[in-house]
Every structure is written in C-alpha cells, then in structure tokens.
Amino acid sequence: MNRKHFLSSLAITSLGLSAFSHLPAPEKEDETFTILPPYLKAGDTIGITCPAGHIKQEEIMPAIRIMQSWGFKIRIGNTVGKSDFSFGGTDAERLQDLQSMLDDPGIQAIMCARGGYGCARIIDQVNFNNFRQQPKWVIGFSDITVLHCHINRLFGIASLHSKMCNSFPDDFAKAESVVQETILSIQQALTGKPMQYLTPADANNRIGSSKGVLIGGNLSMLASVLGTNSEINTIGKILFVEEVSEYLYTIDRYFNSLQRAHKLDNLAGLVIGGFNRLKADDPGEEFGRTVYDIVKEKVKDFDYPVCFNFPVGHQKGNYALKCGVMHHLEVQNNRVSLKEIVS
C-alpha cells in the first residue's frame, strides 16, 4: 500500500473509531438501592404546584378538602391560578415554584395539580441537591412521567404515579366506588401501606411471574426522554405504560422507539394500562393494528409476563403506583396480581 492510500485508510479508520466513541455505553442493570422518601403522618404538609398545565384554584379545592380530611396540611404554590397560555405560568415561574417546594423542609410531599405539557421545558434547570438530601414524595402522572423518570434514573428515589388534584371528586361520598378507591390508594401509598392490586385476566395476557423495580408512566413521555439524562433504565424492571388521545400509528411509533432503544429487551415484566380515547384513522388510511397487536409484535421475541388493561392511566381506574419500588408481577390464567415487595 502506498503512502497516500495508507494515510487515506488511516483517516477513514480514525473517523470510524471517533464515530463509535460517541455511542452510549451498553446499559447495565442498576446496582443502587431505591431510596424511599419518608412516609407521611398526620400533620405533614403536601405542596400543590403546576409544573405543566394551568389550573384554577377552585378546581383544586376538592383535593384540598379530601387531603385535609386525611390529616395533612396543604401548601398552595404560586403557580396555582396562574397561566401562560396552556402552561401554569411561565417556565421561570413554574421552575421557581417547583424548586421552592423541593427545597422547603416543611413540605413532605409534592402533588402536581394536573398534567398537560411543560415538565420537559424546565427539568434541566431544577436543582435537586436539597431533594437528594431530604427526599419527598413527588405525586402525579401523564406529563409528570418526566419527573418520575428523572428522579428515578438519576437519584434512585421513589415517587408516586397517581391521580392529581384535577381528578378528585367534588363530593367524595357520592363518587363511584372506583373513584373512591383510586383516591384512597393515594392516601394508603403515602402513609406506607404495602400496595397490591388484583385485576381480571385478559385473553391477550402472557402468563408468567417475575420480580423487579416498577417504573413507567405515559408512553409518549417515556419515548420523549430517550437520549436524555432522564432516559429510563429498563433492565430487570417491570415497566408499565398508558396513553390517551393518540392515533394507533403514533402508539406504534412510540413503542417502536422503545424497541429500537432496547428498552423492551430485558424487562422483568410489562404492564399495559389504559389506552383511552384513541383517535380514529382517516378513511382509507387505517393502520390495521390494535394496541394488542402492536404490543405483542414488539415483545414476541421475549418471554417475560405481559398483562393488558391494568387499572392505570387516563381513566377512572387509575390507582397509585410506587415508582422505583420492588414489585412482584404474577400473570395467571384467571387473574393478575401486582404486589409491592416490602423488605
């Protein structure tokens, strides 16, 4: 090989090595133990803030009354009642409100008033130093999935995926039993009751039993954090997902993103929650696959247990789940059990 060709070959090789050097290292199973924030007791304070969409103060009053009846004090954040178009205030206002609640030692838990969109716009500016020293329960779902992913991946701190202030009934005594149960599951989770949910079997379930840390949330949010420092580590985990108001092809796209990122490869189990109010395809442009079809196609090469129609998501049956905590998933022919493992 002459010198010109040798140098050319060397340059190409160097470029190739340089390109590969920027690829992320293979993901490994987490070696750290989950940190549980202290459970709440009577007299503790729950802060209410709007890191995503806006809400009026009168809309959170049912939640305040119910949580006060549980013996908790309530601190209303500055973003409640504020709006910047769809947001609960400007990015700066929402950041400041969340930051002050994370830093305040007098607040033992933070409930997000509602979802919407906005957490991803401020997450990288949040300083979690005080939160890491004094963990507290962060509560919410939907867009709040970004917070769950971030604090679980970076700090190993547990959080609570559950209904938020905008889902509390005006009259608890007259609410449907499923609404009462889901609201009470928040109280039970926050006060340290070990959680277990039993649900009917689904013909599309894949039978099996496994143990692992429970993580997950809204499907589009899980896909949106891929490639960021909030990206979830799914190895050995039980992953739960839910979604609302999407086209079937969009749901397939999100699952495809998780598949391409190898987030479905090494799960301990997969829990499919509610996929509600799906958008109808345009005539002649039908996607031709159901949610069942999409999921089963993506996990056909694996043998971990899979269950469908678990009561979590944008629906009345949205029970509190402790993210970052060990659970036992048992998918049987006649029922499904998801049980918190207490060490």
Q: Is the pLDDT of residue 163 over 50?
A: yes
Cα distance between residue 295 and residue 274, in whole Å: 13
Instruction: Tell me the pLDDT tens digit for each residue of 263-274.
Output: 999 999 999 999
DSSP for 156-168 reads -B-EEE---GGGS
- List C-alpha distances in Å: 57 to 45, 79, 88, 255: 18, 10, 11, 37
Instruction: Tell me the pLDDT tens digit for each residue of 172-182.
Output: 999 999 999 99
List % helix, strand, coil for the chain (3-state, nearest 5): 35, 20, 45
45-190 and 196-280+289-340 share one fold: no
Q: What is the mean pLDDT of the chain?
A: 93
Domain boundaries, the chain: 45-190, 196-280+289-340
Q: Is the pLDDT of residue 330 over 50?
A: yes
First to last CA, the chain: 65
**Contact (CB, 8 A) for 219 and 241:** yes
CATH architecture, range 196-280+289-340: 3-Layer(bba) Sandwich (3.50)
pLDDT band at 216 (very low <50, low <70, confident <90, very high): very high
Q: Is the pLDDT of residue 9 over 50?
A: no
| Cβ neighbours of 72 (radius 10 Å) | 22
Dihedral through CA 56, CA 58, CA 59, CA 63, nearest 10?
A: 130
Q: Is the pLDDT of residue 3 over 50?
A: no
Cα distance between residue 192 and residue 223, in whole Å: 31
Q: Is the pLDDT of residue 258 over 70?
A: yes
pLDDT band at 7 (very low <50, low <70, confident <90, very high): very low
pLDDT at residue 343, rounded to an integer: 81
Q: Which residue has the tokens 């995926």?
A: 161
Average pLDDT, stretch 287-307? Answer: 98
Q: Quick one: which of 168, 173, 171 has its CA closest to 185?
A: 168
Lowest-pLDDT range of 24-28, 82-86, 315-319: 24-28
pLDDT band at 27 (very low <50, low <70, confident <90, very high): low
pLDDT at residue 15, rounded to an integer: 39
Q: Whole-structure pTM over 0.75, yes or no? A: yes
pLDDT at residue 241, rounded to an integer: 99
pLDDT band at 261 (very low <50, low <70, confident <90, very high): very high
Return the higher-pLDDT residue of 282 and 194. Answer: 194
Three-state helix/strand/coil letters over 292-334: HHHHHHHHCCCCCCEECCCCCCCCCCCCCEEECCEEEEEECCC
Strand bridging mode 238-244 / 208-218: parallel
pLDDT band at 31 (very low <50, low <70, confident <90, very high): low
Q: Which residue has the tokens 């830093």?
A: 103
pLDDT at residue 131, rounded to an integer: 99
Q: Is the pLDDT of residue 136 over 90?
A: yes
Instruction: Tell me the pLDDT tens digit for each residue of 76-118.
Output: 999 999 999 999 999 999 999 999 999 999 999 999 999 999 9
| Cβ neighbours of 299 (radius 10 Å) | 18
CATH topology of domain 45-190: Rossmann fold (3.40.50)
